[in-house]
Amino acid sequence: MKVEIQPGCDDTSVVIRCPEVTADVEALAAKLRADDDRLPGVRDGVTHLIAPDDVLYFESVDKRTFIYTTGAVYETPLRLYEIEQRLGPGFFRSSKAQIVNIAQIVWLCPDFGGRLEVGLPNDERLIISRHYAKQLKERLVAR
């Protein structure tokens, strides 16, 4: 690893140079972005900054996006595609309207029609559409 200190710089920046992007490189980049990754969520008229690790899943309903944590539900002005762009590989698009935090999945089991059912720490159950089920299985095996 090489660190260059440049006196007089206005801002701190980090550049990762590597021959190929691997899971380790993506994880390192996600950790470096962690300070900037907190997401705005509104609850009872108050805006909270929510750490991605605290999120169970995101859901879009009637053109509104919600952040679900163990203790609360927040509305966010972000769209699901914006959330996907901001977050690292620890999150998974589970349907057109949901993104799940893979680290929060407690269990999974097959459901009808090739779908998967997953359980979260707050005893909530989500359905992974068959279109995304295979990708989730592959990502879980690769971990």
For 86, the domain range is 23-102
Assess if residue 133 is contained within a domain: no
Count Cα atoms within 13 angstroms, Cβ side, for 71: 3
Total domains in the fold of the chain: 1
- 84-119 in b/e form (b: 16+ CB < 10 A) is eeebbebbbbbbeebbbbeebbeebeebeeebbebe
CATH code for position 91: 2.40.50.1020
CA distance 133 to 137: 6
Cα–Cα nearest to 67, from 94, 96, 43, 89: 43
pTM across the whole model: 0.72
Assess if residue 17 is contained within a domain: no
Given CA atoms 22, 120, 117, 115 in this order, what sign does their dihedral have? negative
Over the stretch 119-134, which tens digit does the pLDDT of each residue have?
999 999 999 988 898 8
Over the stretch 50-83, which tens digit does the pLDDT of each residue have?
999 999 999 999 999 999 999 999 999 999 999 9
Over the stretch 93-129, which tens digit does the pLDDT of each residue have?
999 999 999 999 999 998 888 889 999 999 999 999 8
Assess if residue 7 is contained within a domain: no
Assess if residue 30 is contained within a domain: yes
